A = this chain, B = another copy of it.
Amino acid sequence: MRTSIATVSLSGSLTEKLTAAARAGFDGVEIFENDLLASPLAPEEIRARCADLGLSIDLYQPMRDVEAVPEDEFARTLRRARHKFELMGRLGADTVLVCSSVSPLAEDDDALAAEQLARLADLAGDFGVRVAYEALAWGRHVSTYDHAWHIVETAGHPALGTCLDSFHILSRSSDPKDLKGIADIPGEKIFFLQLADAPLLGMDVLQWSRHHRCFPGQGGFDVTGLVHRILHTGYSGPLSLEVFNDVFRQAEAGPTAVDARRSLLVLQEELGRLGHELGEEQGVAALPAPAAPTAVAFAELVTPDAEPVSALLGALGFARTARHRGKPVELWEQGEARVLVNTGPAARRDGTTLAALGLECPDPAATARRAEALLAPVLPRRRAAEDAPLDAVAAPDGTELFLCATNRPGLPNWRADFEDVPHTPAAADGLRIDHVALTQPWHHFDEAVLFHRGVLGLEPRESVDVPDPYGLLRSRAVTGPGGGVRFPLTVGAAPGDDTAQARHIALAADDVVAAARRFTAAGGRLLPIPANYYDDLAARFEFADGELETYRALGILYDRDTHGVFRHCYTHTVGRVFFELVQRDGGYQGYGAANAPVRLAAQRAQR
């Protein structure tokens, strides 16, 4: 099963796009006409560049407003087409995309459309070119795949087939009864298959298509189910991504191409499970299903100055229990929560950062193989000979993810690399890591969601907008089974906005009030929350005597959902990291998003 990507899906010049597509492992590209026009390379040079990169040119696109027009207009179209077919010869591309017409000149006349498309195909045939006719979801008279196929069938020309596009099909309907017509199309008459996903937005379909497409698995369409149907027809051409997206247009082409290719690998894996032959991608299908991590084994802070971090951890009741045998890394523990403090060479001038996470994996080596197969950058092991072998990959945001086991027999044990040090016992709040809030760089939000889902098997939750005083943040959590791993992913309101650059580690306590009191008694500073917030709580909920006053005195925020209650408070920030103390009761599922505006405003006010 070959994979391809349309150049319009990537940012930059044509050569940047081609290079990125090849590096990410695509087999071919669709050349978008505007990218060719803007390129200083002659078609022959583009052809040679693609050949050097190992890329085929699977499609030249698009031709528009071709069919069912008055004869004089069609004559001009044939003239234009002849130029394009010659160009395709120079380029070495043998399939051209024709989109259904949006021209006011087009008539609602299927017979005329079929007749003119057949004439176009006749001309194309002379140049060894095949014409793939596609229904745009907003086509003037032809807007559904079955209507386009009906016209292609009527034309009955060997050089004319149809092109299916998951966006155009699924944006109109995902009702199985609307999709069953796909089975009527002979696979060899499907000349091309373009794939895009999209979030389920209620908006004008043209704007939706031009600005909000995304890669399969990043949106709300069942792209896999659609491809499953299409492969049943016998279609054997490439799976090709065509994604118009405002963010991808701005992002660097390299990471976007990797994200794109990963989306297809995940799709192919799903197809393999549905019984499709994947050819050389069989390896992907043969991978073990993702086994999601069950817990955060540790969070690693990198800092140029351990003192403020140590003070904060100490106030939280952590004890410094061990240190690494060969590196300047200390282990702090309270209850089941573990934090590593690394003052080694990775420490950067911009202060304390949350740089790595240890993920407790059922089978770390299998997860590492899976991650590598899904294009996650594998990090070099910088370890001494005596250290436990520990695989690590980089998440799209640069966070190092250590795939590990903690004190589990028969598996390399990262904990054994640390030797215990004498220490006063930790406090007994029974802390464990509830969630880790991972802020994301502006261009990598959808990529992060796909990564955590596809590579680690975490499940994406609903996306929410959170108002910060200076803009809207977008937040979406990915979670593991049983809530053992929870990562709310958040992206700021604008690139360069540092609102969301501080990350935080949320520690669950059995009694958050007790934990908060211990923290302040130990000299910790909790984020002060305005009195107005508590007056509003009093209006919204009924509390036991003194309960609200306790929250007010400490700065504890309060939320309820249909399951239960959430109480939480925030420490001051060190560098780019702060902690949250939380208590989840009764199966509360969220992260206190209702309180986020107040928290964000309070943090702004602290600066």
Contact = CB atoms under 8 A, between A and B. Distances in A.
A293 to B, nearest CB: 34
Interface stretch (A114-122, A267-275, A597-605): A597-605
Interface stretch (A384-392, A478-486, A493-501): A493-501
A84 interface: yes
Contact of A532 (B42, B207, B601): B42
Interface stretch (A353-361, A533-541, A570-578): A533-541
Contact of A201 (B203, B250, B597): B203
A170 to B, nearest CB: 18
Dominant SS at the A interface? helix
Contacts of A204: 201-203
Contact of A469 (B13, B79, B535, B598): B13
Given A204-B201, A207-B203, A249 B36 contact: no
Nearest to A442: B494
A149 to B, nearest CB: 28
Nearest to A34: B597
Contacts of A605: 13, 40
A124 B469 CA distance: 30
A250 B471 CA distance: 5
- Interface footprint category on A: 35 or more
Nearest to A205: B202
B83 A471 contact: no
Contacts of A532: 36-39, 41-43
A153 B188 CA distance: 67
Nearest to A540: B80
Nearest to A84: B539
Contact of A37 (B203, B465, B472, B598): B598
Interface in A574-607: 597-598, 601-602, 604-605
A602 B494 contact: no
3 interchain residue pairs of minimum CB distance: A202-B204, A83-B539, A203-B203
25 contacts: A12-B469, A13-B604, A36-B532, A37-B533, A38-B469, A38-B598, A41-B530, A83-B535, A83-B536, A83-B538, A87-B535, A201-B204, A201-B207, A203-B203, A246-B471, A246-B472, A249-B471, A249-B493, A250-B470, A250-B471, A250-B493, A250-B494, A442-B494, A494-B494, A495-B495
Interface of A: 11-13, 33-34, 36-43, 79-80, 83-84, 87, 201-204, 207, 210-211, 246, 249-250, 442, 465, 467, 469-472, 493-497, 528, 530-533, 535-536, 538-540, 597-598, 601-602, 604-605
Given A38-B469, A201-B203, A249-B493, 20 more contacts: A11-B471, A12-B469, A12-B470, A33-B536, A34-B598, A37-B530, A40-B528, A40-B531, A41-B530, A41-B532, A42-B531, A42-B532, A83-B538, A201-B204, A202-B203, A203-B203, A203-B204, A249-B471, A250-B470, A250-B471
